[in-house]
Amino acid sequence: MPAWQGKSRGTKLGYSIFVALCKHAGLLPGYVLLRFVALYYFLFSLKSSRHIYQYFRLRQGYSKVKGLFSVYTNYYRFGQTLLDKIVIMAGIQNKFTYHFDGEENLLAIASQKKGGILLSAHVGNWEVAGHFLERLKTTMNVVMFDGEHQQIKDYLQQVTGNRKFNAIVIKEDFSHVYAIGEALQKNEMVCIHADRFMEITKTTPVKFLGEEALFPNGPFTLAAAFHVPVSIVYAFKETNKHYHFFGSKPISRMEDESKQAYTQRLMQLFVSELEVKMKTYPEQWFNYYNFWEKK
């Protein structure tokens, strides 16, 4: 099955070097340094490079040469999204611009005053989007695996200050489900990444980019159980200084629709939308394992 273990990469020293560079010299020198870091991962992270290369070759249909160049570009884009996140959340001066495509859909959900679920994936730059979703004038909660090393988490908290959203950490005792319910009862937004899962998670195979891949049932089952509007959201980096945010029209469970039928419909809508976005922004796919491996 997919070998993702819920842990992120990087070191406290690495983060501190980039933060200091951006604070004192600006974002552009940070991007220049990222070129060398991306090259390091391209040359020495053979396992993840192999998986992302197969993604470009088998899922995007790239040639061998284009696939290799795209692996490097993918590492560089991933580094940019991490650096952008830190710069924005730490309040470091920048010249980012944004286009909000579908913000009115999220405003419509917020205006209903009964909470809402935002489904996203490990593509683009969700945390940058989450930072700017404070425009909705409602509390944002992000459901996540507790995968970063504690020293990195402490350092990022020190640098960026309080996050603009609450983190709901996934627990083995399913206490996070109650936390999600409480947030929705308080008319808050809950963002869930609906692409990754751990070994104990129940999954469903869905055709994605030409072949069936496993997607977790949990996010879609929760949306069906809580009877709150859902939007599929993404934020992609289009240039060094520009981001494009997408928010789909609200999706709701119909009165005569069973929980199972709605769960399946919502999952298919999510996968279809994710496929469209990956055709548009192929180099911002950040799942560094065999996403299409079956149980």
Where are the chain's structural domains? 12-284
Q: Give the residue among 226, 232, 259 at the shortest CA–CA distance from 246.
A: 232
pLDDT at 156: 55
pLDDT tens-digit profile of 217-254? 999 999 999 989 999 999 999 999 999 999 999 999 99
Q: Which residues pair with 190 in a beta bridge?
A: 117, 141
Is residue 51 within 8 Å of residue 288, measured between CB atoms? yes
Is residue 235 within 8 Å of residue 245, measured between CB atoms? yes
In the predicted model, is pLDDT for residue 21 greater than 60? yes
Least confident interval from 103-112, 126-135, 215-224 = 126-135
In the predicted model, is pLDDT for residue 77 greater than 90? yes
In the predicted model, is pLDDT for residue 5 greater than 60? no
* Pairing mode, strands 189-193 and 116-120: parallel
Q: Give the residue among 228, 252, 281 at the shortest CA–CA distance from 121.
A: 281
Q: Which residue has the higher pLDDT, 157 or 174?
A: 174
Tokens at residue 224, please?
């069906």
d(CA 261, CA 253): 9
User: What is the CB neighbour count within 10 angstroms for residue 204?
Assistant: 16
pLDDT at 27: 85
d(CA 162, CA 159): 9
d(CA 209, CA 139): 34
Q: Give the residue among 157, 198, 143 at the shortest CA–CA distance from 7.
A: 198
Is residue 230 within 8 Å of residue 83, measured between CB atoms? no
207 sits in which H/E element: strand 203-208
